[in-house]
Chains A and B, each alone.
Chain A
């Protein structure tokens, strides 16, 4: 019996607001995450700018201590939960992972859409306090008893707790989706040792999300019970223990910081090979170091609690594990440098930001080691030294990695090129502004300045460095404007982007820029970790022959 080829109508892009609201396409959901997270980046940045303006001089000039406390609390919450995690995992993860593994979409497209809308809702919830007299003001860490209703009666705190529960739900659902997608939907021939290192990073990250986030949800639930139902989990007077909050919170929040850095490291592992025209040095070492970091990250949380008064032997275990995590991290650093070494380096914005990442993350990683040496931590904990350290790894690390990814994948996602000259301005202004803001903070910590203070005593030697940091913050704010201008120009009248503007290695460069709704005409079969390079070389050979 003869069979006829079936003629299936090809899915086409639909336009209009309703199409975006109802989309289940991973690329559109990625863009929704992207733009929403970028909006929150600006909100968080404005919060930081007001804080820096206040701290430029001792005395209270612009905001009351109450407002300042809301600012720093929401700055941390916004940057972590409403910017970095959503933009790296929800933004780039969603857009790029299915393309890189040769799939047509995520395993559960509707669940994917739900994750995005829960994320947006969580952001609105957390800021809902604005309508009820004030935002949460107990820090992004919400330590009990300060965060209980006795000491923080404002409704904004409850909105924060509920918002955090919703964002955790969004993350966990998304993580399940990524794990199913990566484990089950890879193209033929793509073994786990041939999948891109960005995909490895997302896989380890989302495994961590699934394991850690429920613990935060439990902590938040207990806090909500204490606040609303009169229980006393964190109340010493009711035989509860405030320190319990810290254990539960940090059990999640330490892995969370690796959730924030691993995807950015995955981006670096993508950009360096393309822009040095070499394979990544030590693919398996990087892949397994990523997994090792993910695993060890669950065994270090008490290093945030060295001043709490816990048993010394317990503290020693966690100091050891904290130092241990530096080993796989160092392996990755050396492998990245070895990728550059002997390469042909194309110093355009993606690589510039990757190089910035390497330097800034090196500093941040080194400063963290000081905090692992417990008695030294007793001096440095809760000071501006920690503020310096965390920003070097989270901004110098994650955000620089993010920008490397933005410059790298922008042509693919938008079909337009970003202006290279503006990109270089953006890079250098960010480097200068960032270092001017945060390097002096190491010194402030060493001069005894605690963190989370709306005001500081004059005459202690803290004025000059605070002024420097504020100047740096203003440069950083300006550098962001440069980027936004570049983005705007590109979308308006940027040079149209080819499918593969960088001579990339991985499958996303096989698709058009931007890809069709169905991603690939035919799902490719891969036989190496650099399938698009294989195709390119084969074509060159054919041409030459």
Chain B
């Protein structure tokens, strides 16, 4: 079952990482406001929202006028008694007809000009962008930061204020990358790369999800954009690259052992371990991720449920039920949740 995203606090000591990263990710509020295009948090989304309001104003005027005429004519000309003479037989009125052809046409020309201008502006790519590659999979989103050398999944950590250029593609079917508060959606087509850009103005958590039907796991392909300060972003990148050291605590060490020598390494990557699998999502820093499998809130209980049988949680997911023992699950949960 999907639960509310109320962040719970896990604070763990680390050897390498700055406290800033952990503070940032646990102090920020949950994605509590609706992911609405009308609550924009980027200049791109704000421009679209303003255009929407303009069209809405025209739409409301048109509706009130035309619907008003429908209601007025219904009330005013309803037949009071059956029978009665025929009313005046009017076949047309040239001036009126010309007017109600020309005026709507004019309104639409104005709308088109605004559309064309907005379309032109959207093509301008920013200078000094952060580059992110977005790769759609059935059923999770992979994010690569080529200039930083970082790969992650589902959660997209970005610095506030810097525009991002996304290069979007898919490895299987058509998906669509969409974070409503930050920008419009753009399809992820296999064999093609689409380019889109936006920059986040306010720190916070923003919800998005796949917006092109892609099969059985389509409802469970979220995107969680976590926008942080430049310093916090730099620290996050550093932590990703540094990777995790072998833990000394026995349960955690047991978990790491299972990851490195068991089935996990075949599909997943955890930076700093021998697990360098490319099939499934990168699990580096998993303890800080908002989701498990793109469906459950990241808590130890939920992680245990997932590891016990992913197919019950997310039917059709690529990860099979490996028949892990409760002992293995306990160790894995402890280890994965410890990853910062």
Binding site for B on A (CB under 8 A): 58-60, 64-66, 69, 137-139, 143, 145-146, 151, 236-237, 241-243, 276-279, 281-285, 307-309, 312, 315-316, 319-320, 323-324, 326-327, 330-331, 333-335, 337-338, 340-347, 355, 358-359, 362-363, 366-367, 369-370, 372-383, 446-448, 450-462
- As a 0/1 sequence over residues 190 to 203 of chain B, the CB contacts with chain A under 8 angstroms (1 = contact) are 11101100000000
B183 to chain A, nearest CB (A): 8
- By a CB distance below 8 angstroms, the chain B residues around A346 are 79
Would A326 and B189 count as touching, CB distance under 8 A?
Answer: no
A377 to chain B, nearest CB (A): 8
Would B91 and A370 count as touching, CB distance under 8 A?
Answer: no
B243 is an interface residue with CB less than 8 A from chain A: no
14 A–B contact pairs at CB < 8 A?
A: A59-B1, A138-B213, A278-B90, A319-B115, A323-B108, A327-B104, A334-B96, A337-B66, A355-B70, A370-B52, A373-B114, A378-B186, A457-B5, A459-B30
Would A383 and B5 count as touching, CB distance under 8 A?
Answer: no
Would B118 and A375 count as touching, CB distance under 8 A?
Answer: yes
Q: Please, which residue of chain B has its CB at the minimum distance from the CB of A382?
A: B211
- By a CB distance below 8 angstroms, the chain A residues around B195 are 309
Rounded to whole angstroms, the CA-CA distance of A355 and B183 in the bound complex is 39
B309 is an interface residue with CB less than 8 A from chain A: no
- By a CB distance below 8 angstroms, the chain B residues around A383 are 211
Cβ-defined partner of B180 (8 Å) among A285, A340, A379, A451: A379
Task: Tell which of B31-39, B245-253, B269-277 binds the partner.
Answer: B31-39
- By a CB distance below 8 angstroms, the chain A residues around B105 are 327
Interface residues of B in 213-233 (CB under 8 A from A): 213-220, 222
Cβ-defined partner of A375 (8 Å) among B1, B119, B210: B119
Q: Please, which residue of chain A has its CB at the minimum distance from the CB of B3?
A: A458
Cβ-defined partner of A459 (8 Å) among B5, B101, B190, B218: B5
Q: Given the known inter-chain contacts A279-B89, A312-B123, please indicate yes or no for A65 contacting B216, CB distance below 8 A.
A: yes
Would A309 and B186 count as touching, CB distance under 8 A?
Answer: yes
Task: Tell which of B171-179, B258-266, B279-287 binds the partner.
Answer: B171-179
B185 is an interface residue with CB less than 8 A from chain A: yes
B63 is an interface residue with CB less than 8 A from chain A: yes
Would B190 and A345 count as touching, CB distance under 8 A?
Answer: no
8 new A-B contacts at CB < 8 Å, known A345-B79, A457-B5? A243-B189, A283-B92, A337-B70, A343-B73, A343-B77, A374-B115, A380-B37, A459-B4
Q: Please, which residue of chain A has its CB at the minimum distance from the CB of B5?
A: A459
B301 is an interface residue with CB less than 8 A from chain A: no
Would B217 and A460 count as touching, CB distance under 8 A?
Answer: no
Would A460 and B207 count as touching, CB distance under 8 A?
Answer: yes
- By a CB distance below 8 angstroms, the chain A residues around B115 are 316, 319, 372-375
B18 is an interface residue with CB less than 8 A from chain A: no
- By a CB distance below 8 angstroms, the chain B residues around A284 are 92
Q: Given the known inter-chain contacts A242-B190, A337-B69, please indicate yes or no for A65 contacting B184, CB distance below 8 A.
A: no
Rounded to whole angstroms, the CA-CA distance of A138 and B208 in the bound complex is 22
- By a CB distance below 8 angstroms, the chain A residues around B321 are none
Rounded to whole angstroms, the CA-CA distance of A383 and B217 in the bound complex is 17
Would A456 and B87 count as touching, CB distance under 8 A?
Answer: no
B127 is an interface residue with CB less than 8 A from chain A: no
- By a CB distance below 8 angstroms, the chain A residues around B66 are 333-334, 337, 362
Would A450 and B2 count as touching, CB distance under 8 A?
Answer: no
Rounded to whole angstroms, the CA-CA distance of A139 and B77 in the bound complex is 45
Q: Given the known inter-chain contacts A279-B89, A327-B105, A330-B100, please indicate yes or no for A373 contacting B111, CB distance below 8 A.
A: yes
- By a CB distance below 8 angstroms, the chain A residues around B320 are none
B88 is an interface residue with CB less than 8 A from chain A: yes
- By a CB distance below 8 angstroms, the chain B residues around A358 are 70
Q: Given the known inter-chain contacts A65-B315, A376-B52, please indicate yes or no for A319 contacting B73, CB distance below 8 A.
A: no
Task: Please tell me the size bucket of the interface on B.
Answer: 35 or more
Would A359 and B70 count as touching, CB distance under 8 A?
Answer: yes
A34 to chain B, nearest CB (A): 29
Residue of B45, B178, B195, B211 most packed against chain A (CB within 10 A): B211
B209 is an interface residue with CB less than 8 A from chain A: yes
Rounded to whole angstroms, the CA-CA distance of A59 and B295 in the bound complex is 10
Would B79 and A344 count as touching, CB distance under 8 A?
Answer: yes
Would A457 and B87 count as touching, CB distance under 8 A?
Answer: no
- By a CB distance below 8 angstroms, the chain B residues around A372 are 111, 115
Cβ-defined partner of B4 (8 Å) among A59, A312, A458: A458
Q: Given the known inter-chain contacts A236-B191, A282-B92, A382-B212, please indicate yes or no for A462 contacting B34, CB distance below 8 A.
A: yes
Would B77 and A345 count as touching, CB distance under 8 A?
Answer: yes
Cβ-defined partner of B173 (8 Å) among A66, A146, A341, A454: A146
B149 is an interface residue with CB less than 8 A from chain A: no
Cβ-defined partner of A337 (8 Å) among B31, B73, B220: B73
- By a CB distance below 8 angstroms, the chain A residues around B181 are 448
Rounded to whole angstroms, the CA-CA distance of A115 and B1 in the bound complex is 48
Cβ-defined partner of B37 (8 Å) among A64, A312, A330, A446: A446
Would A326 and B104 count as touching, CB distance under 8 A?
Answer: yes
Rounded to whole angstroms, the CA-CA distance of A359 and B63 in the bound complex is 9
Rounded to whole angstroms, the CA-CA distance of A308 and B92 in the bound complex is 44
Would A285 and B187 count as touching, CB distance under 8 A?
Answer: no
- As a 0/1 sequence over residues 25 to 65 of chain B, the CB contacts with chain A under 8 angstroms (1 = contact) are 00000111111111000000101100110011001001100
Q: Please, which residue of chain A has its CB at the minimum distance from the CB of B91?
A: A279
Q: Given the known inter-chain contacts A319-B112, A342-B77, A343-B87, please indicate yes or no for A143 contacting B174, CB distance below 8 A.
A: yes
Rounded to whole angstroms, the CA-CA distance of A390 and B45 in the bound complex is 25
Cβ-defined partner of A65 (8 Å) among B59, B67, B219: B219
Q: Given the known inter-chain contacts A341-B77, A375-B122, A450-B178, please indicate yes or no for A236 contacting B192, CB distance below 8 A.
A: yes
A179 to chain B, nearest CB (A): 28
Would A66 and B186 count as touching, CB distance under 8 A?
Answer: no
A84 to chain B, nearest CB (A): 22
Rounded to whole angstroms, the CA-CA distance of A330 and B108 in the bound complex is 11
Rounded to whole angstroms, the CA-CA distance of A463 and B290 in the bound complex is 21
- By a CB distance below 8 angstroms, the chain A residues around B100 are 330-331, 334
Cβ-defined partner of A340 (8 Å) among B45, B48, B74, B111: B74
- By a CB distance below 8 angstroms, the chain A residues around B31 are 459-460
Q: Given the known inter-chain contacts A242-B174, A373-B111, A379-B180, please indicate yes or no for A308 contacting B97, CB distance below 8 A.
A: no
- By a CB distance below 8 angstroms, the chain B residues around A455 are 2, 219-220
- By a CB distance below 8 angstroms, the chain A residues around B67 are 359, 362
Cβ-defined partner of B184 (8 Å) among A58, A146, A334, A378: A378
Rounded to whole angstroms, the CA-CA distance of A193 and B8 in the bound complex is 73
Cβ-defined partner of B120 (8 Å) among A285, A312, A327, A367: A312
Rounded to whole angstroms, the CA-CA distance of A455 and B316 in the bound complex is 14
